[in-house]
Amino acid sequence: MSIIIVIGFFVFVSLCPPCSASPAHVAALSTAEIATSATDHQALMSFRSLIKGDPLEALNSWGNQSIPMCRWHGVACGMRGHRRGRVLALDLSGLNLLGSISSSIDLENLNLSSNSIGGNIPPELTACVQLQFVCLSHNNLQGVIPSALGVLSNLRGIDLRYNMLKGSVPLELASLHNLEVLALGYNNLTGNIPVEIGNMEGLIRLHLESNMIVGEIPKQIANLTNLTHLYLYLNGLTGLVPASLGGLQKLQILSLSDNQLSGPIPPSLGNLSSLVFLNLRANGLTGTIPESLGNLNLLNALSLTSNSLTGIPKCLCAMLQRLNLFNWVLTFFPE
Ligand SMILES: *[C@@H]1O[C@H](CO)[C@@H](O)[C@H](O)[C@H]1NC(C)=O
Ligand SMILES: *[C@@H]1O[C@H](CO)[C@@H](O)[C@H](O)[C@H]1NC(C)=O
Ligand SMILES: *[C@@H]1O[C@H](CO)[C@@H](O)[C@H](O)[C@H]1NC(C)=O
Ligand SMILES: *[C@@H]1O[C@H](CO)[C@@H](O)[C@H](O)[C@H]1NC(C)=O
Ligand SMILES: *[C@@H]1O[C@H](CO)[C@@H](O)[C@H](O)[C@H]1NC(C)=O
Ligand SMILES: *[C@@H]1O[C@H](CO)[C@@H](O)[C@H](O)[C@H]1NC(C)=O
């Protein structure tokens, strides 16, 4: 695989002018060359050259002269305006493609989820300034998340879940003010959740689950008032459950299970009027279960097992009976 990575970088630099980080190479091309669909054609062919396995023969149409580029499998082109006939999106998800990534064209959407793409995330991807959605989940990507992704100010979604990425969550991502989805779960990330996360006010979904992230949950997370899904389970988080989480009025799913959180469940969680799923299991939480949780009228799954909690408030019993979800709830006491 390492050989493919080296080749990948080389091909990228030589054939992807709009996204290239190599000024020398950009200078060698005229503006006209850069601005034609022929460039896209060439870039797609270089992209294809990095794909070493295509068991479903999904890319057979690529390069076939009797099929227009915009009709190649997974290719979507602009329909009007200055990007008419230019490649805007690549959706090659779920094709079991084997190989590595080149950064290709100045795409808006790149979806390579569920393949066997290895190697690193090329930092040169960051020259694709139009990128809005990058989905590279369920692959074999290695190395760190390039901090340079923080320059892609149009990014609205980035999904890198289920890879083998390591290193920490780059602080630089906090400058992505349009980001709605940040999904980095199921990797080998370490370090803390950066406090700068409080700047990503547009976030709707935050997935950092199943990594090796440590330290406290920053209280600045309360700044993310549009958050509906917060997944931090299966990490090494310590400290208290921030009471400020109770301010996240749109939160529907809160999963902090399988960490080393301690102290009481903050009563403010009872203010999460949109909450349907609350999982705090397998932590070191102590104290009594706050009665305020009984206010969570939309809740339909709750797990507090494997903590050191004491006492089930009456109002909560009523709620649990209403939900009839004892198989979910199991026991409140340490297992
Ligand atoms: C190219 O596409 C045409 C039309 O779909 C098809 O008939 C032809 O066999 C293809 N050629 C190759 C080399 O795959
Ligand atoms: C990528 O493709 C997968 C599988 O087809 C799909 O579920 C996902 O929504 C796509 N993501 C984006 C950002 O297009
Ligand atoms: C994480 O790293 C460990 C060893 O450090 C390795 O065994 C494991 O497979 C890695 N997991 C992922 C998801 O990359
Ligand atoms: C919350 O977001 C605003 C606007 O981006 C920012 O100025 C502020 O510093 C953030 N607060 C925290 C606690 O992160
Ligand atoms: C939060 O969501 C609302 C409704 O979708 C939207 O109008 C608003 O701009 C979002 N806030 C931020 C900071 O992105
Ligand atoms: C949130 O909950 C706490 C404790 O249950 C309560 O004292 C507080 O007034 C609530 N805040 C809001 C904004 O509803």
**HSE value, Cβ hemisphere, 13 Å, CA-based, for 112:** 26
Q: Max alpha carbon distance in the chain (Å)?
A: 75
Q: Which atom of ligand 6 is nearest to the CA of 246?
A: 1
- Please report, in tens digits, the pLDDT of each residue of the chain (335 residues total): 222 222 222 222 222 222 332 322 333 333 443 357 788 888 899 888 889 999 999 999 999 999 999 999 999 998 877 778 888 899 999 999 998 887 657 788 999 999 999 999 887 788 788 899 999 999 999 999 999 999 999 999 999 999 999 999 999 999 999 999 999 999 999 999 999 999 999 999 999 999 999 999 999 999 999 999 999 999 999 999 999 999 999 999 999 999 999 999 999 999 999 999 999 999 999 998 898 998 898 888 888 888 988 877 776 766 766 554 444 444 333 32
**Residue-level pLDDT at 249:** 96
Pull the structure tokens for residue 299.
């809740």
Tell me the domain boundaries of the chain: 34-274
**SS3 state at 120:** strand
Q: What is the DSSP letter of 81?
A: G
**Residue-level pLDDT at 159:** 97
Q: 40 alpha carbon to ligand 1 midpoint, in Å?
A: 21
CATH 3.40.50.970 fits 34-274, yes or no: no
- Residue 215's H or E segment, with its range, is strand 214-215
Which residues, in sequence order, are CB contacts of 317 under 8 Å at separation 6+?
A: none
Between CA 180 and CA 157 the distance in angstroms is 6
Q: Considering Cα of 229, then 251, then 153, then 220, what sign does the dihedral take? A: negative
Position 196, amino acid: E
Q: Radius of gyration (Cα) for the chain, nearest Å?
A: 23
- Residue 309's H or E segment, with its range, is strand 308-310
Which residue owns the Cα nearest ligand 1 atom 10?
64
Task: Give the predicted TM-score (pTM) of the model.
Answer: 0.84
Q: Which atom of ligand 3 is nearest to the CA of 162?
A: 13
Q: Which atom of ligand 3 is nearest to the CA of 164?
A: 14
**SS3 state at 193:** coil
Instruction: Name all residues whose Cβ lies below 6 A of ligand 2.
Output: 93-94, 109, 111, 113, 133, 135, 157
